[in-house]
Chains A and B, each alone.
Chain A
Amino acid sequence: MVIDCHVHLMCLPGETQAQGLARLLRCMDRLGIDQACVFLGDRLIFQPTADELVEQNRWAASTVDLAPDRLIGFVYASPNHPQISLELMGEYLQGGGFRGVKLWVCQRADHPGNDPICREAERHRAPLLAHAWHKVAGNLAGESGPEHVVALARRHPGVSFIMAHAGGDWERGLRAIREQTNILTDTSGNDPEAGFTEMAVSLLGPERVVFGSDATGRSIASQLAKVTGARIDEEARRRVLGGNMMRMLGR
C-alpha cells in the first residue's frame, strides 16, 4: 500500500474539478500510488475568511466524494478561525469521512489559536499535518520553521504531528524534531536531494518518516523517488511508503 500523505487538490489554470481530479488519479496510477491524503480547496488563499474556509473544505469534500476509494480527506483548519475550524472538524471527522487535519499557514504553528484545534484532533485521534519551511533568507510572515512545530507538539504530546517538507532545510528540520517523538516528517515539497531519506530514516527511525509529495505544485514522481531511490532497507521503505500512514490513520 502506497499512500501520499500530502496532496493539494488545486487545479491547474483552466482546469475543472473533474479534470484536475482525473489528472491526479492518472498520475497516481502511473506511479503506483494507491491513496492520497488531500486538503485545501481549488485555490490558494493565504488569509482565508471563515466563509472561505468553509467553502474550501466543502470543495475538498466534494472532490473526495468523486473518488472515495483513492482520496482521504484532511480538514483544513485555521488558527485565525478556531471556532469554525472546530465545527468543521466535528462535521468532517465525525461521519464525514475525513481522517486528519491540515493546519493552515496563516500563523506560525505555535500560535495559541492552534491549541483548541490540537485538542480536537487528539479527541478524534486524527493526525495533524503542519507546514514548516526554513528559508535561509528569511521566512514569510507567519510561516513556521521546524522549531514552531516542535513548540506546538510539546504542548500536545497526545497528538501525532506530521511536519511537512522535513522543514524545507531538511538537515536542520530532521535534527530539530529528533527528540520530539510525537512528530513524524513527511518527504514532500523540496528538491529530490540525494541523502535526504537515508538521513531521515537513520536519525528518526523508519517509523517516523512518511511519504508525501506536495502535489500538485510538486511532481509526485520527483518526491516519490526520494523514497524509491534511497538506500534504505525494504522494510523501512515499506513503512515510509504507506505502512506508517496506515498506522496513523488507525487501519
Chain B
Amino acid sequence: MIIDANASLGHWPFRHLQDSDADGFVRLMDAYAIAQAWVGSFEGIFYRDMGQANRMLAERAASHRDRLLPWATLNPAFPGWHHDLAVALDLGMVGVRLYPNYHGYELSDTCLTECLTAVAAASLPVAIYQRVADERLHHWRCMVPPVEMELGLEPLVDRFPDLPLLWVGGTTPAVVSLAEVVRQGRVYVDTSRLEGIECVARVVDAVGADRVLFGSHAPFFYLEAALLKLTEAGLDRSTRAALLHRNATDVLAGAG
C-alpha cells in the first residue's frame, strides 16, 4: 500500500500540468499503484480567498473520496482564516497546508502561532511548504524565496511538541542539518525534494525511518521520481513500509 503525502490538484499558473484534475490524477495513481493521496490545491497557493480554493478542492476530491484526502490551505496573515478553518472541518478536510513564503509571513509571526494553536485544537496535522518550485526557476515576476526552516523550525517544535508537523520540500542537507530538531517534536519530512545519490537512505539515517513520508509533489513533478528514489535507496522492507504508508497512517491517527 502506498500513500502519497504530497500531491496537489488544480491549475498551476505558469505551465499546463497533465493529470492535475481529479480523474486524471486518480488514473496516474492507478498507474503507479498509489492507494491514497493527500491533495491540496494550487489555487490555495495563489488565491487570496482560501475559502474559494478549499471549496474547489473539496468538490474535486469528492468524487474519489476514498482515494483523494483533501488538505485545506489556510493563510494566517489574511483576515478570516478562522472561518476558513471551520469550513474546512465541515468539509471533512484531514489536514492544513501552509505556504508562508507565498502568503507573506514568517514562522516567527504571531499570526502563525495563533493559527497553529487553533489547528492543534482541531486535531489536524499541519504541512509547512518550504518551497513549491526551485527558486532559480521561478517566473521573473513572481520570485518567492524559500521558508527559512533553519531558523524557524525549532521554536515551533518547542511551542507545539505534540502537533504533527510535516516539513514539505526540504532538501537533503537542510533536513540532515536539522535532524535533532526533527526528532525533538513530531516533525515529518517528505521525500519530494530530497536530492543526491541515495538521498532517501541518508535522510532516514539522519532523522529515523519513522519521520519520513513518501511524497511525490505530483503532478508538478513526475510521480515516478519519488518511487525510483526509494529503489535507489535500497531500503529494507520495514523501512520501505514505514515510508510508503505506516508513517502516514500514524500522522492521521495521531492527529485525530
Contacts and interface: CB of A to CB of B under 8 A. Distances in A.
Contacts of B256: none
A128 B237 CA distance: 42
Nearest to A8: B197
B235 to A, nearest CB: 11
Nearest to A7: B197
Which range holds the interface residue count of chain A? Answer: 35 or more
Contact of A225 (B18, B196, B222): B222
Contact of B222 (A171, A219, A220, A226): A226
B240 to A, nearest CB: 13
B15 A191 contact: no
Nearest to B139: A136
A217 B221 contact: no
A218 B225 contact: no
B143 A136 contact: yes
Contacts of B196: 215-219
A231 interface: yes
Which range holds the interface residue count of chain B? Answer: 35 or more
Given A195-B15, A218-B196, A225 B225 contact: yes
Contact of A222 (B134, B220, B228): B228
A63 to B, nearest CB: 15
A169 B136 CA distance: 8
B137 interface: yes
A24 interface: yes
Interface string B129-155: 000011111111001000000000000
A27 B18 contact: no
Given A136-B138, A194-B17, A217-B196, A229 B232 contact: no
Contact of A221 (B134, B219, B221, B229): B229
Contacts of A229: 222-225
B218 interface: yes
B197 A191 contact: no
Contacts of A194: 17-19, 218-222
A23 B232 CA distance: 10
Contacts of A24: 197
B106 interface: no
A191 to B, nearest CB: 5
B232 A219 contact: yes
B180 interface: no
Interface string A192-224: 111100000000000000000001111111101
B137 A190 contact: yes
Interface in B230-251: 231-232, 234
B164 to A, nearest CB: 26
A230 interface: yes
A174 to B, nearest CB: 13
Nearest to A170: B137
17 contacts: A24-B197, A26-B234, A135-B136, A136-B139, A136-B143, A191-B137, A193-B133, A193-B220, A194-B221, A215-B197, A217-B196, A218-B196, A221-B231, A221-B232, A222-B228, A225-B224, A228-B224
Given A190-B137, A219-B194, A228-B224, 19 more contacts: A12-B197, A23-B198, A31-B231, A137-B135, A137-B136, A192-B221, A192-B222, A194-B218, A194-B221, A195-B17, A215-B196, A216-B196, A219-B199, A219-B229, A222-B228, A225-B224, A225-B225, A228-B228, A229-B225
